[in-house]
Structure 1
Amino acid sequence: MAKKLFSRTSPFIFMRKKESFNRGIQRLYVLAFLLFFFSLSMANEKRIVCPGNENIEQLIDQATSLNKNGKNKEALELFQKANDLAKAAGCEKGELNATKNIMLIYSDGYDYKKALEASNRARYLALNQKDYKALSTLYNKRAILHENLGLYDESIKEYEAALRYANMISENDERHYQASLVYYNMAPYYQGRSDQKVLYSLEKSREEILQVDDKSKDIPLDQKIDMLISVNMNLGIHYRDSRNKGRNIDKSEFYFMEALKQMGLLKGKIDLDTKIDLYQALQEFYQEKKNYKKAIEYGENMLAMEKSNSMPYNRRVGYMVLAKSYLAIGENSTSQKYLDLFSKLNDSINSVEKEAVEVPVKKMISEAKVSGDKKIKTMAVVSFVILLLITGVMLIYRRRSNKIIHKKYEDLIAKIHFKNEEDRLEQPISEKNSKIKTSVTITDETLKALLFKLEKFENSEKYLRKDLSLTWMANNLATNTKYLSEVIKVERNHNFTSYINELRMNYIIKKLYENPMYREYKIAYLAEECGYATPRVFVNAFKQQTGFTPSYFVEQLKVSV
């Protein structure tokens, strides 16, 4: 069952068979903490964990059932009771089984400290039994826990240990499968650090899983195929990512088709979560390729399947992509329907995420709380007084700045009103004076041709590309970066970045002014619409260009236009 590392409003959604926090600054995504591969390894435990002591086995079975039904507290009590009985009976297999489950429950409750403590005992027990499969699984889990705590150096050491123990497993198919899992989980660890290592990890994961025999006694065929689908899917996502220097749409499509081919081998037996993840990835892929019909087909099918599995992150992305796809084919009412569903679900997810973040924070505060309550109260009173003073100053400042901002808004509206007339009176590029003074020697003919291409570029909306760079633009205009940079500097009075920002801002301002539907979109959507990777960069660019935020502009348009 593939799990997501990111459900970004960015183009790269990495599917992962484990839980993780987004280690970036922007946003936290709360994921399922019950690891597919870890729970699977526990499911495959031998039926008799403690020969001669059926009570331990029954307790573990009952606790497992409770945990599956979301009753974590009750499950934890039974696992701890089973653990105590197994320890007293000297049954290390039973103790290891119970301890691994205890570790997972603590992890699910964001108590990483206790989860790591439990993993230490489990690791000791697995070493005693020379259970290399369990050791590989445990080190995988420990790597995740360290990563969630921001201890990235420790995390990669744990991954390396997990791989080392995976390679010590005597059964060939089990060895290849466990190694594939480790490489698979290492890929998102490297995301944002090294595209090459992400690709290497995924390719190694694919190489290992392909070596598992289809008729293996240790690894069921559906388990192998599920893993292979997930790896191929992630390779497709990797090559689709607009931020990836090695972006290759043909390779992306190849791996997506491989994933679909593997899914066809199992037909109805494929894990539904994996199928949902793949359909969502294909939906985004075809939307980026502007094949809106296929994007809508995969998106609608994905939502139909998701109803029975409740995967809100998939649903959120599905709503947004469908809104874009229907808008692109002119079905505005359907687009608006999905946009409304996206907004409602997004607000709900953000609320849940905020609450989830507060859980570990509150625990940390309660653990650290001692007899210093009076000091805290005193500090709170002082802070409140300071806050009142600051608020008063801010109110005065805001009243003054609001007048300035509104004047800038009125100036912008006036500029928009007169723009059509200015465009009508403006001479075509061929009649303009192209004799400009540059610090680079450019012939008149070359300069005139480049200015003509530049104007065509400005009218083409290619400046909305997320992977736009000076090098790409120079190649697209059949010139070199030196000429292009100099002409933008002298003729447009900008450097490359500010030039592109101005084009994008003019584009989105026009859309907001002329199309009321755009005023209903979230800032994240507007940012993506005009080529920005994050809403923050978009807001900063908008404010730098206009003197006020896009939210203010939208609010004023709703009232006055």
Structure 2
Amino acid sequence: MNRIFSALLLLCLFSSLLNAQSNKEDIDKLLKDAGYTLDFVDNQKGLKIILKAREASKRIGYKEGLLKSGSMLTVFYMREDNYKKVIETSREMEPLALELKNYIALTDLYRMMALAHGQLGLSKPSYEKYQAALKASKKIQQKNTRHYKTSLIYGNMITYFDRMDDNYSQDSILHYLKKSLEEIKQIDDNSPDTKLNDKYDILAGTNSNIGMFYINQHKPQRVDLAEKYFMDAIAIYDNKKYKLMAINRVLLSNSFGRFFQAKKDYNNTIKYATNALELERKANSPYMRKESYEMLADSYLELDNKALSKKYMQLYTSINDSITAAQNASIEAPVNQIVSQEKKKHTTIIVIISGCILVIMAFIVRLFWKRKNRILHENYESLIEKLKSEKKPGRLTEEENYGKISSDKSFTIIEETTDALLLKLEKFEKSKNVIKKEVSLTWLANHLNTNTRYLSEVIKKYKGKSFNNYINGLRINYIVELLYEEPKHREYKISYLAELCGFSSREVFTTIFKKETGISPSYFIDNLKNKDISSGTENKE
């Protein structure tokens, strides 16, 4: 009887072990599916699979499954820009990562913590975590994995240096981008521990990022230096041998669009921006969609396709408003709580390779967006200096402007010299006629007693613009001076200001204003208002 009982007990124990092993294999399969779904299919669907695997791991005490599912959750939260949850989830997984003594996991953990702290404006802990990540990476045994993780750290560190507005930080950004490129090139294509797709995914991204540095940050802009890096990135992008993550293809497509925009190749800009929008349907990234809309609006305007430019400017304005509202809603993140917790010793969690790549490129986008805002402010200051330095004699009335010209009915073709016409144009520019909606080439030619062909050629030769661009520029100059000189107009709606200076719609006005000044009308008005408030405060003191 005892023998039978012992046999049954052993049978049950063996069956339990087999069942546990089977459950672990099922969880591993779930996690593999989750990683693929997260990277190539849909974020929300990937989240559901991750949570399912996480619960299953808890039920059977599968530590590796808990660690990996927790890591994937961190990637998901990073994509959602939820830095608080990134840090919380990482810290929850920290003891487990330490227990398993996984240096790959610790390297990724420190790096992710550095990124999250940096985005919350906590520079010191961010830098400390980067140093911890570099230290942990040196303990990784596998050579190719070590090169890969070190490349990711160097690529991420540029977000730290970008917060320092000096020459040293600019040199550091390029230095670490090139170090990242050097590390990734040392990975063997046949490496058993690093996938070929992962290597070339980050290789394409890093080349693209260096190219963007020469276009957006290097002074002066060096499109020639950027071209080599973009061509290397495009070669990988177009090679069917490599399967790049869909979301990274979106980022690359937008970067390529920016490159061709800098080259004034607007057809290729439209090609890559449109491709980015198609790919973004799966990635669902508002920031990337916003950048694509902006490129399309600007490029179609340069190609004189006002209808499509207006369409994409409307889409850009709409999504920009949505993003701004979302950012304002998340400002109250508990940063103080994170600062107090930072006083304790922490380590971070392993993050899957695909998530690491996404984090680098997503933050690169935000890095260059921040740089762009800085350029906007420089454009604003330049415009204000121009307004201060220019003498404004005032606008002439129509009678004053054309009285002498129209009274002379005996104008002959011989008397229509270039100098005479330029003098008439100068008077026209100082008049309020520039804001009349009926102004056209024919209208102006009639008022100046000349013909349309001669007038068009003189404007093109001596003003350096087509007739439409010439008139649009005068109208923008008019409204800029009006906003600067008369504060009451700053309270009016953009649509009213557009109509006031002769534009047919708010969208066209906004697009032309940005093209002429480098900033949007709302940005210009907001800064004028802020300056008034600051001046008022100083006067009271």
| TM-score category (smaller protein) | 0.5 to 0.7
Q: Could you say which residue in structure 2 is the equivalent of 1:293? A: 267
Corresponding residue of 2:276: 302
The correspondence of residues 414-425 of structure 1 with structure 2, limited to 5 A, is 414=395, 424=423
Counterpart among 294, 307, 314 of residue 333 in structure 1: 307
Tell me if the contact between 2:70 and 2:93 (Cα under 8 Å) persists in the aligned partners. Answer: yes
After superposition, the C-alpha distances for 1:87-119 in whole angstroms (9 at most, x for unaligned) are: xxxx64344334434555666777755653543
Q: Which structure 2 residue ranges, 5 or more long, are not aligned?
A: 1-17, 338-391, 404-421, 428-461, 466-473, 483-496, 534-541
The separation in 2 between residues aligned to 1:257 and 1:419, in whole angstroms, is 58
Q: How does 1:119-518 map to 2 (within 5 A)?
A: 119-120=90-91, 122-193=93-164, 194-241=169-216, 243-245=217-219, 247-266=221-240, 269-357=243-331, 360=333, 414=395, 424=423, 505=477, 516-517=503-504
Q: Please state which structure has a larger fraction of its residues in helix.
A: 2
Closer, same or farther in 2 for the Cα pair 1:59/1:460, shift >3 Å?
Answer: same
- Give the drift of 1:248: 1.4
Percent sequence identity is 28
Distance change (3 Å), C-alpha of 1:98 and 1:344: closer
Shift of the alpha carbon at 1:327?
A: 1.7
Does the 8 Å CA contact 1:222/1:266 hold for their aligned counterparts? no
Deviation at 1:418, TM superposition (A): 8.5
TM-score (norm 2): 0.57
- Aligned mates of 1:273, 1:327 — CA distance in 2: 28
Aligned partners of 1:503, 1:341: CA distance in 2, in Å?
25
Q: Kindly tell me: are residues 213 and 246 of structure 1, through their superposed partners in 2, closer, same or farther at Cα, counting changes over 3 Å?
A: farther
**CA displacement at 1:544 relative to structure 2:** 11
Partner of 1:520: 507
- Secondary structure of the equivalent of 1:196? helix
Indicate conservation of the 8 Å contact 1:60/1:82, yes or no.
no
CA drift of 1:173 comes to 1.0
Cα deviation, 1:142-193, whole Å, max 9, x if unaligned, reads 1122223321110111112112222221111111111111111112232242
- Write the deviation string for residues 269-317 of structure 1: whole angstroms up to 9, x where unpaired: 3333323222222222222332223222333333344345444333322
What's 1:382 paired with?
none
| Paired amino acid for 1:520 | E
The amino acid of 1:226's aligned partner reads D
| 1:295-348 per-position Cα deviation (integer Å, ceiling 9, x unaligned) | 223333333443454443333222222222222222222222222232333334
Residues 174 and 219 in structure 1, CA contact (< 8 A), matched pair in contact too: yes
Partner of 2:345: none
Q: Using the alignment, how far apart are the partners of 1:346 and 1:56 within structure 2?
A: 45
Provide Cα deviations, 1:65-108, integer angstroms capped at 9, x if missing partner: 5985358589558636734752xxxx643443344345556667
Contact kept? 1:80, 1:98, Cα under 8 Å: no
**8 Å contact from structure 2 (residues 208, 229) kept in 1:** yes
CA pair 212-520 structure 1, distance change in 2 beyond 3 A: same
Contact 1:206 1:232 in 2 (8 A): yes
The answer as to whether partners of 1:103 and 1:115 remain within 8 angstroms in 2 is yes
Three-state SS of the structure 2 residue aligned to 1:226 is helix
| 1:247-273 superposed Cα distances (whole Å, 9 cap, x missing partner) | 311111221111112223335733333
| Cα distance in 1 for residues equivalent to 2:266 and 2:79 | 38
SS class of match (1:199): helix
Paired residue for 2:54? Answer: 79
AA aligned opposite 1:276:
V
In structure 2, how many angstroms separate the alpha carbons of the residues matched to 1:334 and 1:191?
A: 35
**Residues 452-505 of structure 1, C-alpha deviation per residue, up to 9 Å, x if partnerless?**
xxxxxx9669xxxxxxxxxxxxxxxxxxxxxxxxxxxxxxxxxxxxxxxx9995
**1:421–1:303 distance in 2 versus 1, CA, 3 Å:** farther
Q: How far apart are the structure 2 equivalents of 1:113 and 1:265?
A: 38
CA contact (8 A) 2:50 2:72 kept: no
CA distance in 1 between counterparts of 2:58 and 2:509 reads 50
* C-alpha distance in 2 between matches for 1:419 and 1:223: 71
Q: Mark the CA change 1:417 to 1:111 in structure 2 (over 3 Å): closer, same or farther.
A: same
Instruction: Report if the CA contact (8 A) 2:20-2:60 is conserved.
Output: no
Query: CA 1:179/1:515 → structure 2, altered by over 3 Å: closer, same or farther?
Result: farther
| 1:321 alignment partner AA | M
Looking at structure 2, the residues matched to 317 and 238 of structure 1 have their Cα atoms a distance apart, in angstroms, of 17
Larger Cα Rg: Structure 1 or Structure 2? 2
* Cα separation, 2, equivalents of 1:343 and 1:534: 11
The number of aligned residues is: 377
When residues 110 and 323 of structure 1 are mapped into structure 2, their CA distance, relative to the original with a 3 A threshold, is closer
How far, CA to CA, are the matches of 2:153 and 2:178 in structure 1? 12
Unaligned segments of structure 1, at least 5 residues:
1-49, 365-410, 429-457, 462-501, 549-561
> Cα gap change, 1:515/1:80 in structure 2, threshold over 3 Å: closer, same or farther?
same
What amino acid does structure 2 have at the position aligned with 1:164? Answer: K
What is aligned with 1:539?
Answer: 525
Distance 1:333 1:237 in 2: 29
Task: Considering Cα pairs closer than 8 Å and 6+ residues apart, tell me whether 1 or 2 has the greater RCO.
Answer: 2
The answer to whether the 8 A contact 1:76-1:105 is kept is no
Asked whether the 8 Å contact 2:107–2:133 carries over to 1, the reply is yes
Aligned to 1:42: none
Q: Distance in 2 between matches of 1:308 and 1:105?
A: 14
Q: Which 10-residue stretch deviates more, 415-424 or 117-126?
A: 415-424
Aligned to 1:373: none
Partners of 1:79 and 1:102 within 8 A in 2: no
- Aligned partner of 1:529 in structure 2 is 515
Q: Deviations over 1:345-390 (max 9, x none)?
A: 33344444445556x47999xxxxxxxxxxxxxxxxxxxxxxxxxx
Give the counterpart letter for 2:507 in structure 1. Answer: E
Give the drift of 1:237. Answer: 0.7
- Relative to 1, partners in 2 of residues 1:334 and 1:135: Cα closer, same or farther, differing over 3 Å? same
Q: Distance between the aligned counterparts of 1:327 and 1:419, measured in 2?
A: 35
